């Protein structure tokens, strides 16, 4: 699992990148998945535009 550079974020419009629950980026040879530590399904369909568990990350926390 890796954290991509900001300029290479998959689905840049996704709320996951701005959430206080730290997402994990899982890369395969052909895809990148964003894992949520809070959701039961762990890998929500992207891009996430609304999420009941979303809490904004503090500025500079990521």
* Domain residue limits, the chain: 1-49
Segment 12-35 shows an average pLDDT of 93
- Angle subtended at Cα 29 by Cα 24 and Cα 34, rounded to the nearest 5 degrees: 20
51 vs 28: CA distance, rounded Å: 25
- For residue 34, what pLDDT is reported? 95
Phi-psi region of 42 (alpha: psi -120 to 50; beta: other; left: phi over 0): left
The pTM score is 0.75
Segment 9-16 shows an average pLDDT of 92
Residue 2 has pLDDT above 90, yes or no: no
Q: What are residue 27's DSSP bridge partners?
A: 32
Segment 3-14 shows an average pLDDT of 75
| Mean pLDDT over the full length of the chain | 87
- For residue 58, what pLDDT is reported? 87
Q: Which residue has the tokens 């959430």?
A: 19
* Entry field: residues in the chain: 62
């Amino acid at each position: 699992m890796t954290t991509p550079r900001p300029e290479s974020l998959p689905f840049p419009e996704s709320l996951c990148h701005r959430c206080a629950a730290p997402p994990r980026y899982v890369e395969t040879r052909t895809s990148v998945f964003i894992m949520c530590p809070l959701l039961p399904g762990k890998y929500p369909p992207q891009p996430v535009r609304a999420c009941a568990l979303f809490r904004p990350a503090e500025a500079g926390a990521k």
